[in-house]
């Protein structure tokens, strides 16, 4: 159990750095409060998104019995991002719901629908083949599809300048502009989904042995799959609505953790939530300190870490012939 | 419920299975009683594994599979798994779970969604590991074990569920002779503890040595059913496999209490002869077991008992 003290320590260090590091001048007493508040939101957004994406990664890896799966690799994040854009567009053009509904609310719903749609395609695909690489390829295709659809939505949104700006900034995604209202909507979503994933953990353990064995040991495989997909969609929706399209967190974090936390889901999920949060906060700090003309997007940092790891894992899997 | 107490056995009536538009099982009737080992025999593609999966409730079927007065198909997966444990030929598990964690999966049906394990859970896991002689493997990683060791762990996982009915799909396939014998001996031990066992076997000699009754399938239909010695006899075997049954024709093996080769999984099981030198009702059977044990207890000696006898040709 030395893992948790370490993770909490890392969280403390990362949290402190996240508040202290940045381009703003904290010695100016007039601006200090504003800077600290903005960095606080940013810290919270990065932590929430990281926790959600890491646990999402753990669950989809178990769900598809595929160590290379993650919400971004499978196209779930792209689906959520597209769903969020459509929600913004519908809200902006049609003014759905009048003054009672705010974009902070419609966006997570759109994200959820988009994420679930892309996971549903993969679950239906599982009936045809269980091949690891075929699954990943389908994920890539879904990802590409949603990205091109997103481009279309973005072009439609350019009709009005304000809406166009909103859609573009959402699809670029960043934790830097996240406000308290977005956090207030995302926090309960993510919290509930994290707990729900933990509850399905025992069933996901059974699923590691494949559908037939899981069923023979008493798991209702259909229920496990669809409920897991629903809760992962909620997690990804929450993460995308506060942090945009950030990739590879769900791939990197579970793999870093397994040597310490093991494979059982109920041990892995809480650890992944903490570690994922810390990881994304750390990536956000890196994004801020690397000197560049404008700030580096968070997704670039996670991508630079995640993409090589993905290739390494792929090579290792091929060597072990772990897929067939 | 441990050791199959309160076990009422399993009964199937007019069981048919259609897969992908093709009927692969036609109206199978069978009954397996507590304390009894039933062998499912037949050539490749006869429908043995399909029958086993249907009995386990893992495939849709027509007809009726009755356990404890209820139809398997009408039970929830949880209720069914409390009665029936299915052991696949190989597990598809590829994740780095320890043996203890794998066996603990068998307790799923008894647990809630919370992570903790009750004392009853831990007792069941210990008992299962001990029975399957897998307690020495407890902390090993499942995927790093030999096929034979994995088979014993899968049996332990099935036992941990406390289900009285055990369905085993070719439990000795791909095992070496020592590992295979350990598994067969375990099957007898479980039958002695009032479990109901239904076992798919491809080795007819194993069936003769280990099982009480047998069901011989060909192209999805039952050809012969009854005491194993009657089913695995000249006429039905010729009809189904197209081969002549020769009693005591080949060398056989039996466990060597002194040998260390396969000792990890011998232990205290009941000693049953495997090989073709079992007593069948074939008249004069001079069973001369010449145990050529030269080295006393050291080395990997698998006591080669060559059973010679006059059989029916």
In A, minimum Cα distance to B72 occurs at A216
Tell me which residue in B56, B94, B115 faces A216 most closely, judged by beta carbons.
Answer: B56
Tell me which residue in A205, A213, A219 faces B88 most closely, judged by beta carbons.
Answer: A213
Judge: B93–A210 Cβ closer than 8 Å, yes or no. Answer: yes
The answer to whether B55 and B12 have CB atoms below 8 angstroms apart is yes
Judge: A213–B92 Cβ closer than 8 Å, yes or no. Answer: yes
HEC profile of B243-307: CCCCCCCCCCCCCCCCCCCCHHHCCCCCCCCCCCCCCCCCCCCCCEEEECCCCCCCCCCCCCEEE
Q: Which pLDDT tens digits describe chain A residue by residue (324 residues)?
A: 588 899 999 999 999 998 888 776 677 777 888 888 888 999 999 999 999 999 999 999 999 988 889 999 899 999 999 999 998 888 877 665 454 556 677 888 999 999 999 999 999 988 887 787 888 899 999 999 999 999 998 888 887 777 887 787 777 767 777 778 888 889 999 999 999 999 999 999 999 998 899 999 999 999 999 999 999 999 999 999 888 888 899 999 999 898 889 889 999 999 999 999 999 999 999 988 887 777 788 888 898 988 898 888 888 877 765 543
**For residue B241, with 0-12 CB atoms within 10 Å meaning exposed, 13-18 middle and 19 or more buried, which class applies?**
middle
Structure confidence at residue B175 as a pLDDT band (50, 70, 90): confident
C-alpha distance from A20 to closest chain B C-alpha (Å): 39
| pLDDT for the residue B49 | 92
Q: Is B70 helix (H, G, I), strand (E, B) or coil?
A: strand
The answer to whether B308 and B298 have CB atoms below 8 angstroms apart is no
Judge: A199–B113 Cβ closer than 8 Å, yes or no. Answer: yes
Q: Which of A217, A228, A254, A318 to mutate to test the interface with B (most CBs of B within 10 A)?
A: A217
Judge: B93–A216 Cβ closer than 8 Å, yes or no. Answer: no
CB pairs under 8 A between A and B: 82
Residues of B in contact with A218 (CB under 8 A): 77-78, 80-82, 108-109, 161
Please write the tens of the pLDDT for every residue from B253-269.
Answer: 777 766 544 444 444 44
Check whether B285 has a pLDDT greater than 50: no
- B78 in reach of chain A (CB within 8 A): yes
- A219 in reach of chain B (CB within 8 A): yes
- A222 in reach of chain B (CB within 8 A): no
Please write the tens of the pLDDT for every residue from B211-227.
Answer: 999 999 999 999 989 99
Greatest C-alpha distance within chain A = 66
Structure confidence at residue B114 as a pLDDT band (50, 70, 90): low
- A316 in reach of chain B (CB within 8 A): no
Cβ atoms < 10 Å from Cβ of A27: 7
CA dist., res. A96 & res. A167, Å (int)? 16
Please write the tens of the pLDDT for every residue from B17-32.
Answer: 998 889 999 999 999 9
**Mean pLDDT confidence for B58-82:** 90
- B116 in reach of chain A (CB within 8 A): no
- A200 in reach of chain B (CB within 8 A): yes
Tell me which residue in A208, A219, A221 faces B93 most closely, judged by beta carbons.
Answer: A208
- A264 in reach of chain B (CB within 8 A): yes
Cβ atoms < 10 Å from Cβ of B212: 17
- A248 in reach of chain B (CB within 8 A): no
pTM value is 0.83
Judge: A216–B86 Cβ closer than 8 Å, yes or no. Answer: yes
**Mean pLDDT confidence for B47-63:** 93
C-alpha distance from B59 to closest chain A C-alpha (Å): 9
Structure confidence at residue B291 as a pLDDT band (50, 70, 90): very low
Structure confidence at residue B6 as a pLDDT band (50, 70, 90): low
Please write the tens of the pLDDT for every residue from A159-212.
Answer: 777 788 778 777 776 777 777 888 888 999 999 999 999 999 999 999 999 889
Residues of B in contact with A206 (CB under 8 A): 105, 108
Least reliable range by pLDDT among A266-270, B155-159, B204-208: B204-208
In A, minimum Cα distance to B159 occurs at A217
- Scan residues 38-77 of B and list those with Cβ closer than 8 Å to A: 53, 56, 58, 76-77
Judge: A322–B94 Cβ closer than 8 Å, yes or no. Answer: yes
The answer to whether A186 and A108 have CB atoms below 8 angstroms apart is yes
Least reliable range by pLDDT among A299-308, B164-173, B193-202, B280-289: B280-289
| pLDDT for the residue B312 | 40
Residues of A in contact with B163 (CB under 8 A): none
Least reliable range by pLDDT among A16-30, B37-51, B283-297: B283-297
Tell me which residue in A200, A209, A221 faces B93 most closely, judged by beta carbons.
Answer: A209
Q: Which of A126, A128, A206, A218 to mutate to test the interface with B (most CBs of B within 10 A)?
A: A218
Judge: B94–A208 Cβ closer than 8 Å, yes or no. Answer: yes
**For residue B85, with 0-12 CB atoms within 10 Å meaning exposed, 13-18 middle and 19 or more buried, which class applies?**
buried
Greater model confidence, A320 or B303: A320
Tell me which residue in A65, A203, A266 faces B115 most closely, judged by beta carbons.
Answer: A266
Dihedral class, residue A92 (left if φ above 0, else alpha if ψ from -120 to 50, else beta): alpha
Judge: B113–A200 Cβ closer than 8 Å, yes or no. Answer: yes
Judge: B81–A216 Cβ closer than 8 Å, yes or no. Answer: yes
**Mean pLDDT confidence for B118-128:** 91
CA dist., res. A186 & res. A190, Å (int)? 6
HEC profile of B8-41: CCEEEEEEEEEECCEEEEEEEEEEECCCCEEEEE
The answer to whether A261 and A271 have CB atoms below 8 angstroms apart is yes
Take residue A65 and report the two structure tokens written for it: 């019995």
A162 CA to centre of own chain: 27
């Amino acid at each position: 159990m030395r893992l948790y003290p370490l993770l909490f320590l890392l969280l403390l260090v990362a949290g402190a750095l996240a508040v202290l590091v940045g381009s703003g001048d904290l010695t100016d007493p007039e601006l200090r409060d504003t800077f600290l508040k903005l960095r606080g939101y940013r810290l919270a957004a990065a932590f929430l998104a990281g926790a959600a994406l890491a646990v999402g990664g753990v669950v989809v890896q178990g769900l598809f019995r595929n160590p290379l799966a993650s919400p971004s690799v499978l196209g779930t994040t792209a689906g959520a991002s597209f769903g969020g854009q459509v929600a913004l567009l519908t809200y902006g053009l049609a003014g759905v719901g009048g003054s009672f509904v705010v974009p902070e609310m419609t966006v997570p719903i759109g994200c959820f629908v988009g994420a679930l749609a892309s996971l549903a395609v993969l679950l239906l695909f599982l009936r045809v083949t269980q091949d690891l690489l075929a699954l990943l390829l389908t994920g890539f295709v879904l990802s590409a599809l949603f990205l091109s659809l997103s481009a279309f939505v973005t072009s439609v949104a350019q009709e009005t300048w304000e809406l166009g700006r909103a859609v573009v900034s959402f699809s670029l995604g960043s934790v830097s502009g996240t406000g308290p209202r977005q956090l207030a909507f995302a926090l309960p979503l993510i919290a509930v989904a994290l707990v729900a994933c933990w509850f399905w953990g025992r069933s996901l353990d059974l699923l590691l042995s494949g559908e037939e064995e899981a069923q023979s040991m008493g798991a209702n495989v259909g229920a496990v799959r669809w409920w897991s997909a629903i809760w992962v969609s909620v997690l990804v929706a929450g993460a995308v609505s506060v942090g945009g399209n950030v990739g590879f967190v769900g791939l990197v974090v579970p793999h870093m953790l397994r040597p310490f936390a093991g494979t059982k889901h109920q041990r892995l999920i809480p650890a992944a939530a903490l570690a994922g949060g810390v990881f994304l906060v750390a990536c956000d700090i890196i994004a801020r300190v690397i000197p560049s003309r404008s700030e580096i997007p968070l997704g670039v940092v996670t991508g630079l870490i995640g993409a090589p790891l993905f290739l390494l894992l792929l090579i290792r899997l091929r060597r072990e012939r772990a897929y067939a | 419920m441990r050791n199959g107490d309160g076990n009422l056995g399993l009964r199937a009536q007019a069981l048919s299975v259609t897969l992908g538009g093709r009927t692969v099982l036609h109206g199978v009737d069978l009954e397996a009683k507590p304390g009894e080992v039933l062998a499912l025999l037949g050539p490749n593609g006869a429908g043995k594994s399909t029958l086993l999966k249907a009995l386990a409730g893992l495939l849709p079927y027509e007809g009726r599979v009755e356990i404890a007065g209820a139809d398997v198909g009408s039970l929830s997966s949880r209720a069914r798994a409390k009665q029936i444990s299915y052991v696949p030929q190989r597990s598809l598990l590829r994740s780095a779970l320890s043996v203890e964690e794998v066996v603990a999966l068998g307790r799923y049906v008894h647990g809630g969604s919370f992570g903790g394990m009750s004392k009853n859970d831990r007792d069941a896991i210990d008992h299962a590991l001990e029975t399957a002689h897998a307690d020495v493997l407890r902390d090993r990683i499942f995927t790093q074990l030999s096929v034979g060791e994995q088979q014993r762990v899968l049996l332990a996982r099935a036992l941990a569920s406390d289900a009285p009915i055990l369905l085993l799909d070719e439990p000795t396939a791909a095992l070496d002779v020592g590992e295979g014998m350990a598994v067969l001996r375990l099957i007898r031990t479980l039958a002695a503890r009032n479990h109901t066992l239904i076992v798919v076997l491809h080795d007819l000699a194993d069936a003769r040595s280990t099982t009480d009754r047998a069901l011989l399938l060909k192209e999805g239909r039952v050809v012969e059913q009854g005491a194993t010695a009657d089913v695995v006899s000249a006429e039905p075997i010729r009809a189904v496999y197209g081969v002549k049954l020769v009693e005591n024709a080949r060398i056989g093996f039996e466990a060597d209490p002194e040998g260390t080769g396969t000792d990890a999984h011998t232990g205290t099981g009941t000693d049953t002869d495997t090989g073709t030198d079992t007593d069948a009702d074939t008249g004069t059977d001079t069973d001369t077991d010449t145990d050529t044990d030269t080295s006393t207890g050291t080395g990997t000696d698998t006591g080669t008992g060559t059973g010679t006898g006059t059989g029916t040709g």
